[in-house]
């Protein structure tokens, strides 16, 4: 995939800026991105039917360019600001314009390596419930969906559910979600201080984080003392991660293991095709999710039919928490609706939309919500999440060597918690 350079050519019309795009084709994604290639879409200009609607814009644009006396006008910035304003007007935290620099950084993140603190963020309302709000305020708060495994955020003590109230001592109220993200992002070696409010703590606390290069290891398998139980943790949903996950599942099945624990806690999502592949490891046939487009048309995405653990003789427990989002929820919804797993833990985050990334020639890019996704039973979990079959509350002061949810998963499988001890 090629990435347009950072030079921003002069654009004589908003129509050209919007129409001349390089679409990352098939770009359905959750949180981190999904790309199948690139195609160029060229359109001649503003449709005649939109001429009247655009007239106020052109009037304002001409007045600024022709009459502004406060200094030199950068027309590129005017166009960029107009595009950004359109996305902010949508009021969707998952649809936004990105500057050339931010879009480049995002593409690096999609490739699996980037610089920053390593945390996925979302929004909640004043009651702490997942929200679709897009402008930060007391009733629209920035929340950590999940810190990435081994990231600076995780090492500094950031947890899923932490509400970020300030960055470097400056409140976030009045900022868009993208502007807040930009304050948190930064280069390796630089430091940022997040003021966070945490459930169970009376007062906010400051956490200093030194940004670093983030390279995520998505699949972790732990050997348990009881060889009958397989444990696989999946921290993200890249194409390579899904393939590695499938290999681990196949190895467990070939080893004769009939009980599997799949851990999706703190997994904020990834590629939609990866979610399908992971769910298909356990679901033999039929839909693993549905998509509904802007016109209301629904289309089912079926299991691949290539899974290693689809047999009913294989018992599965899926661990979830509030940091399990989007692609994680696709898998959780598929396994719950088809009866292939017992869900243990906490209610998931609740992100039921699909975004598409589009690159504007030399002028950054944007992500746009283009569909809803639904579980096999056609349930939309957006802002609601997926409830576990067996809830497990994790105390705020739980020790580093304690894992109540994993203990409960072993009980469900008829195993003793001592099986958590590594095999000799």
Residue 290 · residue 298 · CB < 8 Å: yes
Q: Which two tokens stand for residue 254?
A: 């070939």
Choice among 252, 337, 361, 403 that is catalytic: 337
| Euclidean distance between CA atoms 157 and 143, whole angstroms | 14
Choice among 326, 328, 336, 361 that is catalytic: 326
In the annotation, is 277 catalytic?
A: no
| Euclidean distance between CA atoms 237 and 245, whole angstroms | 10
Number of Cβ within 10 Å of residue 369's Cβ equals: 16
In the annotation, is 216 catalytic?
A: no
Sole residue written with tokens 């495994």: 149
In the annotation, is 243 catalytic?
A: no
* Nearest residue to 199 (alpha-carbon basis) of 394, 413, 410: 394
Helix (H) or strand (E) holding 206: strand 205-210
Q: Which two tokens stand for residue 346?
A: 């906490």
Strands 96-98 and 390-391, bridge-based pairing:
unpaired
Residue 146 · residue 160 · CB < 8 Å: yes
Q: Which two tokens stand for residue 202?
A: 């009376």
Choice among 32, 351, 361, 403 that is catalytic: 351
Q: Which residues contact 342 (CB under 8 A, 6 or more apart)?
A: 316, 317, 318, 389, 390, 412
Q: Which two tokens stand for residue 394?
A: 């994790």
Strands 141-147 and 163-167, bridge-based pairing:
antiparallel
| Euclidean distance between CA atoms 14 and 45, whole angstroms | 9
* Local structure of residue 311 (DSSP, 8 states): S
| Euclidean distance between CA atoms 370 and 154, whole angstroms | 31
Q: Which two tokens stand for residue 366?
A: 């944007």
154: left (phi over 0), alpha (psi -120 to 50) or beta: alpha
C-alpha pair distances (Å), 43 with each of 16, 26, 83, 87, 235: 8, 19, 17, 20, 40
C-alpha pair distances (Å), 28 with each of 25, 34, 353, 366: 9, 6, 9, 13
Q: What residues are annotated to the active site?
A: 326, 337, 351
């Amino acid at each position: 995939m090629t990435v347009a350079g950072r030079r921003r050519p002069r654009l004589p019309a908003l129509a050209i800026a919007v129409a001349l795009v390089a679409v990352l084709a098939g770009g359905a994604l959750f949180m981190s991105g999904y790309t199948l290639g690139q195609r160029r879409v060229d359109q001649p200009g503003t449709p005649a039917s939109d001429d009247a609607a655009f007239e106020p814009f052109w009037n304002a644009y001409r007045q600024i360019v022709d009459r502004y006396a406060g200094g030199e006008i950068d027309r590129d910035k005017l166009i960029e600001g107009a595009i950004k304003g359109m996305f902010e007007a949508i009021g969707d935290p998952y649809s936004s314009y990105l500057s050339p620099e931010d879009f480049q950084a995002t593409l690096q993140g999609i490739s699996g390596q980037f610089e920053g603190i390593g945390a996925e963020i979302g929004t909640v309302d004043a009651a702490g419930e997942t929200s679709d709000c897009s402008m930060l305020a007391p009733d629209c708060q920035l929340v950590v969906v999940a810190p990435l495994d081994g990231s600076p955020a995780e090492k500094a003590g950031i947890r899923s559910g932490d509400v970020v109230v300030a960055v470097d001592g400056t409140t976030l109220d009045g900022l868009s979600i993208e502007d807040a993200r930009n304050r948190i992002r930064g280069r390796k070696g630089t430091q940022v201080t997040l003021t966070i409010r945490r459930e169970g703590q009376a007062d906010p606390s400051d956490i200093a984080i030194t940004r670093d290069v983030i390279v995520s290891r998505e699949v972790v398998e732990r050997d348990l003392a009881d060889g009958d139980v397989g444990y696989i943790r999946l921290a993200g949903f890249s194409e390579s991660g899904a393939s590695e996950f499938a290999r681990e599942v196949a190895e467990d099945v070939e080893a004769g293991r009939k009980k599997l624990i799949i851990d999706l806690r703190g997994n904020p999502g990834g590629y939609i095709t990866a979610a399908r592949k992971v769910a298909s490891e356990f679901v033999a046939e039929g839909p693993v999710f549905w998509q509904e487009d802007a016109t209301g048309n629904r289309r089912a995405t079926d299991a691949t039919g290539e899974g290693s653990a689809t047999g009913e003789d294989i018992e599965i427990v899926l661990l979830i928490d509030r940091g399990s989002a989007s692609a994680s929820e696709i898998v959780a919804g598929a396994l719950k609706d088809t009866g292939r797993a017992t869900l243990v833990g906490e209610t998931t985050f609740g992100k039921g939309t699909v975004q598409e990334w589009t690159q504007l020639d030399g002028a950054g890019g944007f992500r746009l919500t283009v569909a809803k996704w639904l579980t096999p039973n056609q349930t939309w979990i957006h802002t609601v999440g997926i409830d576990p079959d067996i809830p497990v509350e994790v105390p705020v002061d739980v020790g580093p060597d304690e894992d109540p949810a994993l203990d409960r998963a072993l009980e469900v499988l008829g195993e003793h918690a001592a099986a958590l001890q590594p095999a000799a």
